[in-house]
């Protein structure tokens, strides 16, 4: 991620922490990272750059500060856009079209499967069987092999071409160009992300955002049962909530106190709470049992003590009696609930 990319995930009013952004990109799923990721509206980027080095955003941040585009706090962690920074942010930069779905798709696996499936089909269409397959993990290789044995036939290449053209036509032309350049196939090794970036005069990160759009659009269309990639991509749609957090949530929904659920699931009480917070952040508001875990009276207690600026809330600054009555879990859950547009009267607010 370069300075120009970092600029895009910052805000003029809300100071944003570099550490949170880094952890989010690296896929560190702590409650704190997820919570702040949601506050920053950056959750779609969860896990978007697994191999980002620790501290890799420091240099871009300092570059932005040196150019007067952001201000940095004394610990060089909180960034805030300056008016010039805000102007610059509004300049030409790719705006992803499909990010609403990113959390619900295993994009990494989808990418590997799509690239290998295209390569295999392309070589097959040209009747070549001796070629170097893209290096992917074992699961991808096995799944694509099974898919290919089921699907191969005289129609496969044409069907895949039609399907991909249809998907990519729904995206900006440049995104379709980028997606095509990155593919590997017969007599076409494909370009690397940095080669495409220099050709398109964009940053590598923008190219990756475009690729995410391309893959997501194809995976969306592959939900149709007659899509040639259905068997390969459909299983990769999933809830972003981890399996263990889902199990905890399910146990809570079946009744029983948090302590009982902890005993039943053989985890610590604190883990149950972390699971629930994760589920609250990552599931649609309507599906989470707020009414049970955060009853009306609890909301009223917090509402009486807290102002409208959610980001300024600090547990340590709550009145003493409130802190003895409710632990951090309820405080955080209330913040999530409010942060997702719920008002104390139960109405939504955007």
Partner 1 sequence: MMEPLTASLQRVFGFDTFRTGQEAALTALEQGQDTLAVLPTGAGKTLIYQLYGYRHPGCVLVISPLLSLMNDQVDRMRVTGFRRSAAINSLTSYVERQEILRHLRDYQFLFLSPEMLAQPQMLAQVQQLQLSLLVVDEAHCIVQWGPDFRPEYLLLGAIRTKLRQPLTLMLTATAGKTTRHEIAKQLRTTPEIVSESVNRPNIFLDVENVADEPEKQARLRSLVSQLQQPGVVYFSSKQQATDTALWLHQETGVRAAAYHAGLDSEDRFKIQQQFMAGQLDVICATSAFGMGIDKNNVRYVIHYHLPADLESYAQEIGRAGRDGKPSVAILLYAPGDEQLPLALGQANRPDEETIQRYYAHPQQFSGDDAVIQLLAFYRQHGISQAAVTQMFMRRERERNRALAQMMAYARETHCLRERWLAAFDEQSPEHTVACCSPGNTPLDLDAVGLMRQQSPTGEVKSEREDWVTRLRRLF
Chain residues binding partner 1 by CB under 8 A are: 51, 115, 118, 121-122, 125, 130-135, 137-139, 157-158, 160-161, 164-165, 168, 173, 176-177, 179-181, 183-195, 198
Q: How far is the CB of 198 from partner 1 (least distance, A)?
A: 7
Q: Which residues, 6+ apart, have CB-to-CB distance to 117 below 8 Å? A: 144, 147, 148, 160, 229, 232
Task: Say how far apart CA 90 and CA 258 lie, in whole Å.
Answer: 46
Dihedral sign from CA coordinates of 232, 235, 241, 242: negative
Q: How far is the CB of 218 from partner 1 (least distance, A)?
A: 12
CB hemisphere CA count around 263 (13 angstroms) = 4
Task: Say how far apart CA 160 and CA 155 lie, in whole Å.
Answer: 9
What the block records as the tokens of 37 is: 């990721």
Name the nearest CA neighbour of 172 among 229, 109, 92. Answer: 92
Residue 8: is it exposed, middle or buried by C-beta count within 10 angstroms (0-12/13-18/19+)?
middle
Q: How far is the CB of 180 from partner 1 (least distance, A)?
A: 4
Taking every pair of C-alpha atoms in the chain, what is the biggest distance, in angstroms?
75
Q: Report the residue number, 134 or 322, with the smaller CB distance to partner 1.
A: 134
Task: Kindly report the backbone phi and psi dihedral angles of residue 71, in degrees, each rounded to the nearest multiple of 5, phi listed first.
Answer: -110, 145
Q: Report the residue number, 9 or 117, with the smaller CB distance to partner 1.
A: 117
Task: Say how far apart CA 303 and CA 288 lie, in whole Å.
Answer: 20
Q: How far is the CB of 308 from partner 1 (least distance, A)?
A: 45
Q: Report the residue number, 15 or 190, with the smaller CB distance to partner 1.
A: 190
What the block records as the tokens of 156 is: 């496969």
Q: Report the residue number, 51 or 266, with the smaller CB distance to partner 1.
A: 51
Instruction: End-to-end CA distance of the chain: give it in Å, rounded.
Output: 31
Q: How far is the CB of 21 from partner 1 (least distance, A)?
A: 22
Q: 156-169 and 107-125 helices cross at what angle (nearest 10)?
A: 140
Q: Report the residue number, 179 or 282, with the smaller CB distance to partner 1.
A: 179
Q: Report the residue number, 15 or 172, with the smaller CB distance to partner 1.
A: 172
Q: Report the residue number, 129 or 350, with the smaller CB distance to partner 1.
A: 129
Contact in structure between 14 and 311 (CB atoms under 8 Å) = yes
User: Angle 98-100-103 (CA atoms, 0-180°, nearest 5)?
Assistant: 105
Q: How far is the CB of 60 from partner 1 (least distance, A)?
A: 17
Q: How far is the CB of 118 from partner 1 (least distance, A)?
A: 7
Q: Report the residue number, 151 or 278, with the smaller CB distance to partner 1.
A: 151
Q: How far is the CB of 50 from partner 1 (least distance, A)?
A: 10
Q: Report the residue number, 204 or 298, with the smaller CB distance to partner 1.
A: 204
Name the nearest CA neighbour of 179 among 168, 194, 195, 189. Answer: 168
Q: How far is the CB of 169 from partner 1 (least distance, A)?
A: 8
């Amino acid at each position: 991620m370069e300075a120009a990319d970092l600029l895009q995930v910052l805000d003029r009013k809300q100071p944003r922490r570099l550490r949170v952004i880094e952890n989010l990109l690296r896929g560190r799923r702590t409650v704190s990272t997820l919570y702040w990721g949601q506050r920053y509206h950056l959750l779609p980027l969860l896990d978007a750059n697994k191999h980002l080095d620790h501290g890799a955003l420091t240099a871009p941040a300092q570059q932005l500060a040196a150019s007067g585009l952001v201000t940095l706090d004394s610990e060089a962690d909180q960034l805030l856009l300056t008016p010039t920074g805000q102007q610059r942010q509004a300049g030409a930069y790719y705006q992803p079209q499909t990010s609403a779905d990113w959390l619900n798709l295993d994009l990494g696996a989808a990418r590997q499967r799509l690239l290998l499936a295209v390569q295999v089909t392309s070589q097959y269409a040209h009747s070549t069987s001796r070629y170097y397959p893209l290096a992917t993990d074992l699961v991808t290789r096995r799944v694509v092999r099974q898919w290919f044995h089921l699907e191969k036939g005289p129609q496969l290449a044409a069907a895949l071409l039609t399907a991909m053209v249809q998907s990519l036509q729904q995206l900006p032309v440049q995104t379709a160009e980028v997606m095509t350049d990155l593919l590997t196939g017969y007599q076409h090794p494909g370009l690397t992300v940095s080669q495409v970036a220099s050709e398109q005069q964009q940053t590598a990160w923008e190219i990756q955002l475009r690729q995410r759009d391309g893959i997501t659009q194809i995976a969306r269309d592959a939900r149709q049962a007659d899509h040639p990639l259905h068997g390969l991509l459909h299983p990769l749609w999933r809830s972003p909530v981890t399996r263990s957090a889902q199990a905890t949530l399910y146990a809570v929904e079946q009744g029983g106190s948090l302590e009982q659920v902890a005993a039943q699931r053989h985890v610590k009480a604190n883990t149950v709470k972390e699971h629930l917070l994760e589920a609250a952040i990552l599931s649609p508001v309507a599906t989470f049992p707020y009414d049970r875990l955060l009853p009306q009276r609890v909301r009223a207690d917090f509402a009486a003590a807290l102002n409208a600026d959610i980001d300024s809330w600090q547990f340590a600054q709550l009145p003493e009696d409130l802190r003895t009555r409710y632990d951090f879990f309820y405080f955080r859950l209330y913040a999530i609930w409010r942060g997702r547009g719920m008002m104390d009267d139960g109405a939504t607010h955007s």
